[in-house]
Amino acid sequence: MSSNLNRASRAGRLAAILMGGSALAGFLPVHAIAQTGTEAASAAEVVTVTAQRREQNILDVPYNITAVSGDQIEKLQIRDNAELMRSIPGVTIVDRGERNGSVVNGIRIRGLNVDSSALGDYSVSAASTVSTYVNDTPIFSNFMLKDIERVEVLKGPQATLYGSGSLGGTVRYILRSPEFDSFTGSATVTASQVSGSSNVGYSEDLTLNVPLGETVAFRATATRFDYPGITDYVNVYKRGADKIPTYTGSIFANNNYTFISKKDADNWDGWYGRASLLWKPASNFDITFNVMGQSDKFGGRRAQTLGMNGFGVPYKDKQSGAMLLEPGDREVWLASAEANLDLGFATLTSSSSYYDHQGSLVSDNTGFYAQNGWLGAFYYNYPRPLAEADRTYGDKAFIQEVRLVSNSSGPWDYAVGFYYQNQIQSGTQDSYLRGFKNWADAFWLGPFVISDQDYLYRRSEQFTETALYGELTYHVNDKLQFTGGLRAFKGTSNAHVYQVTGLYTSYNETSNTTGSTDKTKLLFKGNVSYKFLDDDLFYATISQGYRRGGSNGTPTTGFFAESPAWLSYSPDTVVNYEAGLKGTWGDIIYNIDAFYVDWNKPQLNTATTFWGFFAVANGKSATTKGIEAQIDGYAGNWHYGLGYTFTQAELGADLYTADGLILINKKGADLPGAPEHILTGALDYTVPMDDDSLTLHLDGYYQSKTQNTISSATSSLNSVDYPGQPKYYAPMDGFAIFNASATYAMGDWTATAWVKNIFDSQGVTGVYTEAYMGTSPSQNYYGNASKEIYALPRTIGLTINYKFK
């Protein structure tokens, strides 16, 4: 009897630790340390995940899954997804800051990435290698981390259990549901100061849970936030109401403009809100209606310029050399209805949802024009060059999913589902050389120049998918089980691209192209797991992943023609092989797995060979392989966690541009943004106290060096006339980020003092090189649009929370 109780206690503590934070890697709730005996055994019953579409103890999930509880997100004041993902072994992220964080999904699992880390100013055409869900809705929106039950990170393809398939993995944000028990709520106020900023940021949160009877409950949360910027825009053109740089004297003079500066330009403010209504008219039926939204405004980008301006003055840290401010805004709404009917033998679930995500960004492209030589070759060294790109992005969809998940306790378990998605994505760009028309009118070019606008781009794509998916598990006995899964689907894409290029009467061409794809595919998954000890599990998985293809709409005739090879791109697929062990060894909790991913026809978001139109191209193959290992230990009031990931991600064949004209990189080249080594760690100490509690926490993250792009430094793509620098290729140093917090709880009040990025590490995860966007005084361009994308600098904050009933 005592041995069984000890095993239950150990399993309960393990489950509580795993669910309390980043599984086997660092975040630990204090109460889990103190639990012993029957308390821990009972905890094992309520600590659950739903990764396999049914409630399960996390110890019984036969593959690598990480779960982070909402309590720990709140307790450690995890501010954004970049910080959250850095806590999870095997996961990296391009930290683009708030302005670009919602445009392109920067989450990368197991090194599956070919794209440049500098992407993010426009919405790319190819889908991400990692799918993200809010409850049952597949959406990438970068919502604020508020009132969350938990975040589950599933590594490897998930096509046989989730309607929206993925190549590398799935991240699920599971929101807290309304509760019938009692009226509860909380109010939170946070103030913070970022290194390099002259102002204090704040956020205010209010959450209410209101029972409206025995069968209806309501829950709502609202957040208002205002964070000052940290980036100084130091050489911005002074402009008039017409957005044209102002000048004194002659319109032909070169140095008669005015530069102004804007301190802390990249401010971020907005609001987030969610309301949920749960109706449970019978014990076996419930339906939850959910509406959530977020609105953001950005004053500029978090980035710092490399090198010097055109006058030879070096830029300092946290300074931007852009010639104009780069504001942005976005708004996202999501509405869903999720119903569950317990049929006894199985649970039938229906999820209907609709979302609409829209945003806009202003970007300085003057450096891009300069380094392509266009200011001199096409624009006659216009004396006040200012290339402005006004971009928008949009994503809206209706999703319907129905699934049936068995409740039986026999040898067979199953989960089957039907999935339908109707998605419309859009992207626009209007590029201007501000003031060029006025200057040309005063010069001899007047009759030949149409306007300041030299590029117009409109893209829309409608994607529909219908899928049947499911998994069947056979439990041979209490220790051994086999699982097989299939996904059969049909996807149809219809794309329309309209472009107008050039501002001269003789070079002003229009392309209006459409393209469609229609693909039917069958994917499989196989899994075996064996519990060789009471708390120790071996598992092995083979699974397929798939990402849809599409049309680029590239012009193939006229002055701006590209090869027809750029017109469309093919789907890419992976086969994921994985084997691992997880369990306990004395007071140590461990998880170790090895993986190998074979990637066929990897998609690359890139640009066409001659004129740089937006496009996606396919390579031949790539592979990623590695080991993920984590341990957790606890002793009394102490807890420690360590995680290590080794990843080798490389091309499996030479990579060429779509038209075959340029060798981008050779077989064996490292994939970009995929560090070979990642270390995570955490240390917690609970100060013994009678009634109140004090928790001290320290965590750290390290990643080894990476590179910015798949292009080799010696590729002809990188050959430009810039001193010793390739155009796209940029090595990025490894970095470490450490965070700390102290939480004091007294009754209904909690106060947390916290520090992010203690040593103010730059944490660079993306680069726009000087050879790509740097200064060029010979073309009258004295600014510098090169930049490094870096992590949030050292931030000190205080959060006070009050819970009421």
Q: What is the pLDDT of residue 775?
A: 95
- Higher pLDDT among residues 61 and 585, named by residue: 585
Catalogue the E-assigned strands of 195-309: 201-211, 216-227, 232-237, 259-262, 268-282, 285-298, 303-304
Q: What is the mean pLDDT of residues 55-62?
A: 66
3-class SS shares of the chain: helix, strand, coil, % to 5: 10, 50, 35
Q: Classify residue 581 by burial, with Cβ atoms within 10 Å: 0-12, 13-18, 19+.
A: middle
DSSP code of residue 244: P
The model's pLDDT over 505-537, given as tens digits with 9 standing for 90+, comes to: 988 999 998 888 888 999 999 999 999 998 899
> What is the rounded CA–CA span in Å between residue 639 and residue 29?
10
Q: What is the pLDDT of residue 15?
A: 36
> What is the rounded CA–CA span in Å between residue 537 and residue 514?
51
The model's pLDDT over 62-108, given as tens digits with 9 standing for 90+, comes to: 777 788 888 888 888 888 899 999 988 888 999 999 999 889 888 99
Q: What is the CA radius of gyration of the chain?
A: 27
Which tokens sit at 87? 């806590």
Predicted confidence band at 29 (pLDDT cuts at 50, 70, 90)? very low
Within its chain, how far is the Cα of 108 from the centroid?
8
The model's pLDDT over 683-716, given as tens digits with 9 standing for 90+, comes to: 999 998 888 999 999 999 999 999 999 998 888 7
Q: What is the mean pLDDT of residues 545-559?
A: 86
Q: State percent of the chain over pLDDT 70.
A: 92
> What is the rounded CA–CA span in Å between residue 191 and residue 798?
6
Is 5 a residue whose pLDDT tops 70? no
Q: What is the pLDDT of residue 158?
A: 84
Predicted confidence band at 7 (pLDDT cuts at 50, 70, 90)? very low
Beta-bridged to residue 726, according to DSSP, are: none
Which tokens sit at 323? 């010639």
Q: Which amino acid appears at position 686 of this protein?
A: T
Is 30 a residue whose pLDDT tops 50? no
The model's pLDDT over 396-434, given as tens digits with 9 standing for 90+, comes to: 999 999 999 998 778 999 999 999 999 999 999 999 999
> What is the rounded CA–CA span in Å between residue 204 and residue 803?
14
Kindly report the pTM of this predicted structure: 0.91
- Provide φ and ψ at 716, rounded to 5°: -65, -20
In angstroms, the Cα distances linking 99 to 326, 371, 691, 797 are: 9, 25, 43, 21
Q: Which of 27-31, 145-149, 490-494 has the lowest mean pLDDT?
A: 27-31
